[in-house]
Structure 1
Amino acid sequence: MQKTIAFFVLLIFLINACDNIPDSVVDPMEEELSASISVPAQLIYDGSDKELKVKASFSSSKNIKDTWFTVKYYDGSYNVASKVFMNDKGQDGDFLPDDNTYTGSINLTKEDPRGIYDVEIFLITDSDVIKKVSVSRVNFKNYEENIAPIISDLSAPDTIVVQSPKSIILLSLKASDQNGLPDIQSVYFTSTRPDGTSSGNKIYMNDAGKDGDYNAGDGIYSLIIEVTPSNQKGTYRFDFNAEDRSGAKSNLISHNIVLK
């Protein structure tokens, strides 16, 4: 009887021991990295392009496959660079090869609007995991004289005979800015109903190649609007305007559309 009990105790011990034996292949844990980031807090355009140099120094580069950074206006409305690769090869602005410091750069020019830009640094590990390393902000001071945008060449119907269930109106106009198209913050209109009332809300047009706009980035802003038989009949006034990133407003274009 004692031998039988001893046997079962030994068997239970062996089973538990086998449960604790690790697999023969275990994926190594990726090393946690610490990073020191160098991004200028301010750049000033004074007649020549300004280099935006970005550095990221890591505690180790053992598991780093690649690094890059992006630069965009803080509100996401303007993109300078979507993917600038950094290197640790002692070239293209990098001082020493294989010192765990990655470097990359781009130029900001007079065409880039003044204001705050976000610089985001990313890396991808050997196991193809993408990580955002940091976000820094750069104040770009462009001392080119600010000139208000100009709008022109409005395309809009004079009269619409409203059909059921709805009728489509395509509105488009040209916007230009001597400080460059990227300096245009928005193009919009407000409308006034036949009874003289208006919500005052700005309706934004786009130059993104959607919602009636044919070609993105060509300075032609467009929008499709819909009207139904329930809309008031009569004369609507549309007031078009544009605004740049410094708050300067364009000339005003007003246009009447009669709904029948």
Structure 2
Amino acid sequence: MNFRIKSFISIFIISSFFISCEKEFDTVIDTQKPSYQVVSVSPKDSVIFNVNDSSLVVSIQFTQSSIINSVIAEIIDPAGKNYLGETLPLFDNGKSVNGDQSANDKIFSNKMFMKSNSLNGKYDLKFYTSDNTSPQKLVAWSTFKYRNGQSNTAPEISNALVEPDTVEVTNTINILTSLVVNDQNGLNDIDEVFFIVYRPDGTTSGNKVFLFDDGNLTLNGDQTAGDGIYSRIISVNQSNAKGTYRFEFQAIDRGGLISNIINYAVLIQ
């Protein structure tokens, strides 16, 4: 089975050295070997919403900081959006309002605030510095997992569609697949919507074919972004084995809860 998925893959290459630092954080990026190095970053583990104090201290420690002019952090939420809508300046000023314990201790900090309706899942932290020798550059990249404390319910899927679901293959034919997804925690809580294809002989590669609710009609066949209808266009041709395929549809939320399963039969002749 060789369903061809219509998609574009971009590869971005950054000419930097990536140096592991004893698992204190995920990645340190050092392009010019400056006189300072990253010692640790925070947070780097799990964070749970606290109704009494929703502040979260973001910090980064250096071996020395005499030539550092500024430090900022960018927080990317599980949906890939800038959580604050801007960067977060970090300070080594010893002020409690910034969550910095001691001035000039080479630890730069600031507070941000999480919310009870902030997305569950993995948040990316990107740390940037500017110094006397270079403009702003990325020096460390870390992640933490967030739980908003709200009760989480599994997503529900319905109205699975494969159109057409019976095709006589004489050349390449496009097939539209779609699915309606609901989640009591909101569509932002949806992490993955996909199907797995089982061949006529019952075997499968196990690969997930992801559906999208992005309004990209040309690429994915999705008409309206954010309406809960997830779509994907695939194609079949003469190389596909003839017989009845089974498409197994499912969705997973950011808390890891799994939806019901819908199976859909597709006949390739």
Is TM (by shorter chain) over 0.5? yes
Q: Distance in 1 between matches of 2:163 and 2:194?
A: 17
Describe the superposition over 1:60-88 as per-residue Cα deviations: whole angstroms up to 9, x where unpaired: 46452x43223347xxx643537523055
Q: Distance in 1 between matches of 2:113 and 2:212?
A: 25
| 3-state SS of paired residue (1:155) | strand
| Residue correspondences, number | 225
Q: Compare CA radii of gyration and give the structure with the larger one.
A: 1
Report if aligned partners of 1:57, 1:102 keep a CA contact under 8 Å in 2: yes
1:148 is the counterpart of 2:136 = no
RMSD: 3.9
Residue 92 of structure 1: CA displacement?
11
Q: 1:219 and 1:191, CA in 2 relative to 1: closer, same or farther beyond 3 A?
A: same
Indicate which of 202, 205, 230 corresponds to 2:239. Answer: 230
Letter in 1 for 2:59: K
| Equivalent residue, structure 2, for 1:25 | none
Letter in 1 for 2:55: E
Q: Distance in 2 between matches of 1:229 and 1:103?
A: 60
Q: 1:101 and 1:257, CA in 2 relative to 1: closer, same or farther beyond 3 A?
A: same
**Structure 1: gaps of 5 or more residues:** 1-28
| Equivalent residue, structure 1, for 2:220 | 212
| Structure ranking higher in helix proportion | 1
| Equivalent residue, structure 2, for 1:86 | 89
Q: Distance in 2 between matches of 1:136 and 1:232?
A: 45
Q: 1:46 and 1:204, CA in 2 relative to 1: closer, same or farther beyond 3 A?
A: farther
Q: 1:233 and 1:122, CA in 2 relative to 1: closer, same or farther beyond 3 A?
A: same
Residue 166 of structure 1: CA displacement?
0.9
| Equivalent residue, structure 2, for 1:12 | none
Residue 35 of structure 1: CA displacement?
6.0
Report if aligned partners of 2:42, 2:57 keep a CA contact under 8 Å in 1: yes
Letter in 2 for 1:85: L
Indicate which of 25, 43, 50 corresponds to 2:54. Answer: 50
Residue 225 of structure 1: CA displacement?
1.5
Larger RCO: 1 or 2 (CA < 8 Å, sep 6+): 2
**Structure 2: gaps of 5 or more residues:** 1-31
| Equivalent residue, structure 1, for 2:257 | 248
| Equivalent residue, structure 2, for 1:183 | 189
**Structure-2-length-normalised TM-score:** 0.63
Letter in 2 for 1:69: A
Report if aligned partners of 1:189, 1:240 keep a CA contact under 8 Å in 2: yes
Q: Distance in 2 between matches of 1:31 and 1:190?
A: 48
